[in-house]
Amino acid sequence: MLEKQLAYITKAKNQSKEEFISENGENMLPVWEALQKSKEGRISITKISDNLGYLSKGGSERGWTPAFGEGISLYIDNIDRYYYTSTIDSINWEDHTFKTRNSIYKFEFYECENQKAE
């Protein structure tokens, strides 16, 4: 399932606006725009909010992401598993935090291309 999402993200980032709309419909244009603004690279996240979810407060994940940005979910590809968040509402690059609808995370991000988990 997540392998398909990662492939979709990578393909969409490389498509022209017209190609994307042709395949996905104009109602999906905000997704394409968010993907175009997103960054690819290695990321490490730690959950700092105290709410229910896969990760408990203090839990962390790390790996490669094809798209880290506001308005889209964060998908992390690790060598032995995948992890994803709900849609990112905001990223604070100075404090190295981001918020989803339900959670707050600290992050370390190193922008680079085609650096899947090894």
Residue 93 has phi, psi (to 5 degrees) of -70, -25
pLDDT reading at 109 higher than 80: yes
Q: Note if the pTM is more than 0.85.
A: yes
> In angstroms, rounded to a whole number, what is the distance separating the alpha carbons of residues 92 and 64?
20
pLDDT of residue 115: 55
Q: Mean pLDDT in the chain?
A: 91
Which residues, including other chains, have CB under 8 Å from residue 67's CB and lie 6 or more apart? 9, 13, 35, 38, 39, 40, 74, 75
DSSP state of 27: G
pLDDT of residue 117: 44
Per residue in 33-87, pLDDT tens?
Answer: 999 999 999 999 999 999 988 899 999 999 999 999 999 999 998 877 788 999 9
User: Which residue reads 């190609």 in tokens?
Assistant: 19
